[in-house]
Chains A and B, each alone.
Chain A
Amino acid sequence: GQQLNQSPQSMFIQEGEDVSMNCTSSSIFNTWLWYKQDPGEGPVLLIALYKAGELTSNGRLTAQFGITRKDSFLNISASIPSDVGIYFCAERSNSGYALNFGKGTSLLVTP
């Protein structure tokens, strides 16, 4: 699949801070998905984006589908300890048959 470049690789922040992570690609995508993986569990869908420029929120999480359709970002406001985990961006291939994932951003939050 197409390579998704996700950054940063890891983040170590204090509770209450805001967090931003992003994902870029050299290819144009039709769908951007953001997943969170808790330790020992499978990824869980946080936000799905379907249109260029789309800005979508889910509680303290906000994600945007870039205008060029080659990037997306995820923001977490006022982080709390339960935000700890690995966050993945993913694109649903044009065929829709499966997902292509970035390598993930590992988030640690200290109280």
Chain B
Amino acid sequence: NAGVTQTPKFQVLKTGQSMTLQCAQDMNHEYMSWYRQDPGMGLRLIHYSVGAGITDQGEVPNGYNVSRSTTEDFPLRLLSAAPSQTSVYFCASSGKGSNYGYTFGSGTRLTVV
């Protein structure tokens, strides 16, 4: 039972480059979300999805795109990386309904130079 799997674990990008952070879950969870973690800021919501084909913006969506073509996968795309996007990114998933906590992946540490 893998839970939530994020790849890659580490990535260095040059300003202006694009890349996709991968997230996959094998728990058949409806809800998935992306967070970024910066020192002293806690975790801030970037985008979330309540099911295949349905996505919406969170607190800090600028510079990021998402799509949800399957229940299992929820990739996060950086179209033109900026140094301000240097952060640790976490993907999480949850079953539908309020009586579930979210399960997190182990994170992707991204540096933009």
Contact = CB atoms under 8 A, between A and B. Distances in A.
A31 interface: yes
Interface stretch (B11-19, B62-70, B79-87, B96-104): B96-104
Candidate in B33, B45, B90, B101 with the most chain A CB atoms within 10 angstroms: B101
B74 interface: no
Nearest to A100: B45
Contact of A98 (B31, B98, B106): B31
B98 A43 contact: no
B: interface residue count bin = 20 to 34
A100 B35 CA distance: 10
Contacts, number: 64
A50 to B, nearest CB: 7
A97 B105 CA distance: 17
Interface string B52-64: 0000101100000
B51 to A, nearest CB: 10
B2 interface: no
B63 to A, nearest CB: 18
B98 A50 contact: yes
A42 B106 contact: yes
A11 interface: no
B90 A104 contact: no
Contacts of B104: 42-44
A97 B47 CA distance: 10
B48 A33 contact: no
Contact of B107 (A6, A31, A41, A100): A41
B54 to A, nearest CB: 10
B42 A102 contact: yes
Interface of A: 1, 6, 9, 30-31, 33, 40-45, 48, 50, 88, 92, 96-104
